[in-house]
């Protein structure tokens, strides 16, 4: 039995996130396992690199599955793409080492939150960006990110109030870029808490709107109180860009 590493892309608009949920058919993991069960004639478990929320997208999500098949990597990819819905695509299938685990071997992830800050409504990509009305102070957002980079206790930015494990995480960088009326917040970190990127984005948007100062990030981190941070930004603006592994 071989261990296959798969890289997939998906439009999460109509899905309830990556992970299986009771009585909910529309999950990415569920769709992949359903197609593989059809291909193999038996059920298998697809191991994901982590959870993505309902409505969140991915350009290069990584998962792995142990299975026995006479098909080669290209044939597996093509079979899956034929039977998967149009909003899920398998980009690559590669035989990995038996010890490879998509989640435990991940060294970090890069997420991007997209906002439209131009003066016209974004019609054709409205499912993938958050539309912000009014003037946005991008430089204030950039300044605020400097207080968030590094290793901190991000409890104020955790969406799980029952979190029992450590809420300390390390963010390597947050890049704020603007082009053609769009603002992109790109987060590269070792790992992220539930809803963390969306809460960070919602809070940074408030900085850009003048509702809070860049320096307020310091007290927010120290407070360890979710109620003091900004709103959870809509899922549609968030995309998992890359999962990083040791070479």
Whole-number Å distance between alpha carbons of 115 and 184: 6
Whether the CB-CB separation of 226 and 159 falls below 8 Å is answered with yes
DSSP state letter for 108: E
Q: Name the pTM for this structure.
A: 0.94
Residue 30 has pLDDT above 80, yes or no: yes
The predicted model gives 141-161 an average pLDDT of 96
Quickly state the pLDDT bin for 83 (edges 50, 70, 90). Answer: very high
Q: Determine the 3-state secondary structure of 125 from DSSP.
A: coil
Give the side-chain half-sphere CA count within 13 A for 126: 5
In Å, how far are 23, 141, 148, 175, 188 from 208, measured between CA atoms?
Answer: 40, 6, 15, 15, 21
Neighbours of 118 (CB within 10 A): 14
Mean pLDDT of the 225-239 span: 97
pLDDT at 247 over 80: no
Active site residue 53: yes
> Residue range 203-211: average pLDDT?
98
- DSSP H helices, 42-187, are 73-83, 138-145
Beta-carbon count within 10 A of 61 CB: 27
Sign, CA torsion 81/85/90/93? negative
Query: Which two structure tokens, joined as six digits, stand for 129?
Result: 């960006």
Asked if pLDDT for residue 21 goes beyond 90, the answer is: no
Position 103 confidence tier, pLDDT thresholds 50, 70, 90: very high
State residue 162's pLDDT score: 80
pLDDT above 70 as % of the chain: 100
Out of 11, 53, 87, 98, pick the active-site residue. 53
């Amino acid at each position: 039995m071989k261990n296959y590493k798969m890289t997939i892309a998906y439009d999460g608009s109509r899905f309830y996130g990556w992970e299986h949920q009771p009585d909910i058919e529309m999950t990415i993991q569920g769709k992949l396992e359903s197609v593989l069960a059809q291909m193999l004639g038996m059920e298998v478990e697809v191991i994901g690199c982590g959870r993505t929320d309902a409505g969140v997208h991915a350009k290069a999500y990584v998962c792995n599955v142990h299975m026995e098949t006479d098909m080669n990597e290209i044939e597996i990819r093509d079979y899956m793409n034929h039977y998967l819905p149009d909003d899920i695509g398998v980009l690559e299938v590669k035989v990995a080492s038996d010890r490879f685990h998509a989640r435990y071997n991940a060294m970090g992830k890069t997420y991007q939150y997209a906002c439209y800050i131009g003066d016209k409504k974004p019609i054709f990509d409205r499912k993938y960006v958050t539309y912000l009305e009014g003037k946005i102070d991008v430089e204030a957002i950039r300044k605020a990110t400097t207080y968030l980079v590094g290793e901190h206790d991000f409890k104020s930015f955790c969406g799980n109030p029952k979190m029992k494990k450590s809420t300390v995480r390390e963010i390597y960088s947050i890049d704020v870029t603007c082009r053609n009326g769009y603002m992109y917040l790109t987060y590269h970190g070792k790992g992220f808490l539930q809803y963390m990127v969306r809460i960070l984005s919602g809070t940074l948007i408030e900085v850009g709107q003048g509702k809070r100062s860049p320096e307020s990030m310091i007290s927010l981190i120290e407070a360890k109180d979710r109620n003091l941070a900004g709103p959870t930004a809509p899922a549609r603006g968030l995309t998992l860009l890359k999962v990083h592994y040791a070479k």
